Amino acid sequence: MKHEFGRAMLLALIAVCVACAAPADKPVDLTSDAVKNNVLLAEWTGPFDGVPAFDKMELDTLETALEAAMAMNLEEVDRVAADPEPPTFENTIVALERSGTDLSRVRVYYGIWSSNRSTPEFREIQQKMAPRLSEFRTKIVQNQALFDRVRAVHDGEEVKSLRSDQQRLVRLVYDQFARNGATLEGADRERYAEINSRLAELHTTFANNVLADEEGYVTYFAQEQLGGLSESFVRAAAVAAEERGRAGEYAITNTRSSMSPFLTFSSERELREKVWRTYYSRGDNGDERDNNALIAEILQLRNERVRLLGYDNYAQWRLEDRMAKTPENALKLMRAVFGAARERVKEEVADMQAIADAEGDGVRIEPWDYRYYAEKVRKSKYDLDSDEVKRYLQLDKLREAMFFVAGELFDFAFEPVAEGSVPVFHEDVRVWEVKKKSSGDHVGLWYLDPYARPGKRSGAWATAYRDHDTVNGNDNVLAANNSNFVKGAPGEPVLISWDDAETLFHEFGHALHYLSSNVGYPTLNNGVRDYTEFQSQLLEHWLSTDEVINDYLVHHETGKPMPDSLVARIKKSATFNQGFAQAEYVASALMDIEYHTMDPNGIDPDAFEREALAALDMPEQIVMRHRSPHFGHIFSGEGYSAGYYGYLWADVLTADAAEAFRNAPGGFYDRELAEKLVEHLFSVRNAVDPADAYRAFRGRDPEVAAVMRSYGFPVTQ
């Protein structure tokens, strides 16, 4: 959950507009029954200091709730701006931190409809409301009296006497105004607002177009085309087809969790190509949902907007308050990794082509062949069969493994809540209470929504329905993890790949970040983008620890632990296929920066993508992980725009921190280092500058050589 003003001012002003077009036709009557009885606006009741009423949310109440909540938030902000007392930290900054709770509650429900339960009816509301929320945000940032008060606190003497976290809060709040148009005047001020409103519409349309293509393009195939597929995958594909009214057939949905394993194991080359083209053509089908024109307009508007603020390009503005600081710093790291990855891809393709030739397949390796022949190379080089590994990766057991790690490192214990005691928005969602293992003290709740379904966006993500902060008395965190695993047949365990297991741990790392917070103010929960992925990426390393492997990675039929020989082969292959993994990711990250540093006037995104990748000497057997027309990280909002490189920046920190654990006396479960991990890297969120926080943990800055070693790439001086 994001506190609309104080908690996530930056997101509220410039990120994806998840809910707001033109002003409402008439003021909202806050005394009406439609407002007073609106479940989405109501304070949360029930156990655990109140929980969202997910079982009572009705879509026809959403528009009224959003309009009313925005009006309430504006009234709160206006009271702060009109305070007759001289501006102080308490009556200005803290007052803003306490505002927006009504809208925060509504946004939690909105987020569920947007990400977990989208429907055509919801998307109509989303499209309609997008510019209204943009206008709402603009009203706040362009409230001159309010900004004058914030600036007075920022520039005044009182700030010198504040605690370090309070000083950081003042600077963050001030920057959220100054960096988002508060200093503009006249026509520039009006144009800035117009751009924000239009971008809100474009971001929403882009995201909905991608989701529509994911739902609308499903590949069906027959029994004679099942070659190479595992029994569990076949059963899941049959269920997916039956759910769509095609009983007796098999379905590959247009999501990564369905596409990737199919391309890895299917021996039907023509069908692999069809599935591959369908997936990588999302948003790029030349129809009414084609996103290329939207990309061009988004880039042009972003560029125009930051030039109003005096920046040369969007990336320069975006990275100013990130760890990288400048596009040049980000590009230097990306180019070094991409160059090494590109060379490794040549070796990987040669190995794959040799196997294809030896088997007499008569093919030249194409993008839809990469995963398939890489799996054959894996078996040949490491005697490692991904399907064999999956038999030891049961979703339920992996969840137990995550709970074990959380207990050892974070002193957390997870207990399932009684069924029906906490409302959920879908029958697949389960909820656990989180306590301190040593004391039994309550920490919060953890929600898990693991399975793919129509209306749910693809991928995996974490969110918080309620963050921790002491100023509002929020010490009961509500964290959630969401995945898109293919649900198996009734009674069958869900088996996942090693990569998916790492992603599961990764997203759980975000949840642990939420649950560990001890910050005083909502805004301090909002992390620096190229830093916040670090903590979650670090948690991936615990999947391959002996403690997890020996106790939780057990065969789904025999219950026997993974044999030592298989463990050894997995660890030996840890850097296998890193050319592919890093090249496809870094290519997307490089394109992101390219888009946001060039002059976008007259851009043809389709042509620009081809030309830019050619200039990078992109291997022809690989495509970007996220091609431009479905690159939702950067075009369905602004959370990752000019910042997708952040995963790589976080990888540097991750690799360096992992080496610290690897070399510690107690290894990855070293008590002293775990305490430092929680104290300096998880609990403080954004109350401490990320660079300072990392130095407090490690005793020095991170070393880039560590990440190159983690990829198995050569380390150069």
CATH number for the domain spanning 51: value is 1.10.1370.40
Residues 154 and 223 in one domain: no
Element (H, E) at 445: strand 442-451
Q: Which two tokens stand for residue 55?
A: 């079982």
Of the candidates 98, 90, 95, 96, the one whose C-alpha atom is nearest the C-alpha of residue 156 is: 90
Residues 152 and 231 in one domain: no
Count of alpha carbons within 13 Å of 696, Cβ hemisphere only?
16
In angstroms, what CA-CA distances link 323 with 335, 491, 646?
A: 17, 47, 9
Residues 31 and 177 in one domain: yes
Residue 3, Ramachandran bin (φ over 0: left; ψ between -120 and 50: alpha; else beta)? beta
For CA atoms 226, 227, 231, 232, the dihedral sign is negative
CA 581 to chain centre: 18
Percent above pLDDT 90 for the chain = 90
Q: 129, 162, 183: which is the final residue of a domain?
A: 183
Q: Kindly state whether residue 489 falls inside one of the protein's structural domains.
A: no
Residues 255 and 144 in one domain: no
Residues 75 and 162 in one domain: yes
pLDDT for 527: 85
Q: Out of 214, 507, 584, 609, which one is annotated catalytic? A: 507
DSSP string, 92-157: IIIHHHT--HHHHHHHHHHHHHHHTS--HHHHHHHHHHHHHHHHHHHHHHT-HHHHHHHHHHHHSS
CA–CA dist 143, 149 (Å, integer): 10
Residues 70 and 166 in one domain: yes
Residues 28 and 132 in one domain: yes
Residues 177 and 224 in one domain: no
Residues 19 and 163 in one domain: yes
Buried b (16+ CB within 10 A) or exposed e, 603-634: bebbebbeebbeebebbebbbbbbbbbbbbbb
pLDDT for 6: 35
Q: Is 507 a catalytic residue?
A: yes
Q: Kindly state whether residue 75 falls inside one of the protein's structural domains.
A: yes
Of the candidates 341, 336, 331, 314, the one whose C-alpha atom is nearest the C-alpha of residue 640 is: 314
pLDDT tens readout for residues 261-277: 999 999 999 999 999 99
> What letter would DSSP give residue 469?
B
Residues of the chain with pLDDT under 50: 1-25
CA–CA dist 336, 328 (Å, integer): 12
Domain that holds residue 127: 9-183
Residues 169 and 54 in one domain: yes
Residues 175 and 223 in one domain: no
SS3 of residue 546 by DSSP: helix
In angstroms, what CA-CA distances link 663 with 571, 660, 693?
A: 17, 5, 20
Q: Kindly state whether residue 289 falls inside one of the protein's structural domains.
A: no
CA–CA dist 238, 261 (Å, integer): 15
Residues 89 and 226 in one domain: no
Per-residue H/E/C for 630-650: HCHHHHCCCCCCCCCCHHHHH
- Give the torsion through C-alpha atoms of 454, 455, 458, 463, to 10 deg: -130
Q: Kindly state whether residue 131 falls inside one of the protein's structural domains.
A: yes
φ and ψ at 328, to 5 degrees?
Answer: -60, -40
Structural domain count of the chain: 2
Beta bridge partners, 447, equal 431, 480
Q: Kindly state whether residue 160 falls inside one of the protein's structural domains.
A: yes
pLDDT for 15: 36
- Give the torsion through C-alpha atoms of 83, 85, 90, 94, to 10 deg: 10
Q: Kindly state whether residue 350 falls inside one of the protein's structural domains.
A: no
Q: 229, 263, 280: which is the final residue of a domain?
A: 280
Q: Kindly state whether residue 416 falls inside one of the protein's structural domains.
A: no
CB neighbours (10 Å) of residue 364? 12
pLDDT for 26: 65
What is the rounded radius of gyration, in angstroms, for the C-alpha atoms of the chain?
25
Q: Kindly state whether residue 522 falls inside one of the protein's structural domains.
A: no
CA–CA dist 476, 445 (Å, integer): 8
